[in-house]
């Protein structure tokens, strides 16, 4: 499954360098996460009916290329792993047909204020949506070489 999210870069998102400010990459990726949640059945109706949602435990953003005012953003999102209550997502942000950034997100299903397993129907949708993680997933910031 690949979920798509599209939105334009707004003028107030541009920083003092004339490019998309880093906080807005995360905002757009958050909107893309919402689109994945909708696709697997964790949308607004589910959240209201069950007092449940997906909480982000960890995220890793890679800023690969600049994004400018006037760019239209497209985020392609995939479920790349899951357990009984965890969801591992991969987002790729494109503008002008070029990959500009990625975000990897680990979320936990929460009911009330406690982590909880996904209901069976959601778990089945999540499993069905899973694809192999890309090679870049699971990366980390490595120490700089000495010298």
Q: What is the pLDDT of residues 84-98, one digit of tens each?
A: 999 999 999 999 999
E strand residue ranges, 1-147? 3-8, 52-63, 72-82, 86-95, 98-111, 114-115
Determine, yes or no, domain membership for 134: no
pLDDT tens per residue, range 42-95: 999 999 999 999 999 999 999 999 999 999 999 999 999 999 999 999 999 999
**pLDDT above 90 for 140:** no
- The reported pLDDT for the residue numbered 147 is 67
Query: Which domain does 74 fall in, by range?
Result: 3-129
CATH number at residue 72: 3.10.129.10
Determine, yes or no, domain membership for 125: yes
Q: What is the value of pTM for the model shown?
A: 0.93
Determine, yes or no, domain membership for 65: yes
Q: How many domains does the chain have?
A: 1
**pLDDT above 70 for 111:** yes
Determine, yes or no, domain membership for 144: no
Determine, yes or no, domain membership for 143: no
User: What is the average pLDDT across 113-129?
Assistant: 96
Determine, yes or no, domain membership for 135: no
User: What is the average pLDDT across 134-140?
Assistant: 91
Determine, yes or no, domain membership for 140: no
User: What is the average pLDDT across 8-24?
Assistant: 95
Among 110, 102, 100, 113, smallest CA distance to 135 is for: 102
User: What is the average pLDDT across 15-22?
Assistant: 95
């Amino acid at each position: 499954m690949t979920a798509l999210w599209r939105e334009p870069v707004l003028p107030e998102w541009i920083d003092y360098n004339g490019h998309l400010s880093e906080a807005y990459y995360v905002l757009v990726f958050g909107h893309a996460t919402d689109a994945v949640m909708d696709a697997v059945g964790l949308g607004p109706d589910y959240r209201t009916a069950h007092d449940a949602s997906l909480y982000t435990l960890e995220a890793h953003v890679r800023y690969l290329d600049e994004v400018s005012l006037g760019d239209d953003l497209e985020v392609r999102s995939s479920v790349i792993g899951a357990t009984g209550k965890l969801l591992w997502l991969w987002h790729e942000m494109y503008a002008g047909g070029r990959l500009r950034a990625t975000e990897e997100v680990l979320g936990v299903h929460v009911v009330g204020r406690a982590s909880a397993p996904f209901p069976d129907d959601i778990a089945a949708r999540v499993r069905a949506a899973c694809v192999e993680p890309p090679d870049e997933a699971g990366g980390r910031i490595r120490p700089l070489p000495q010298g």
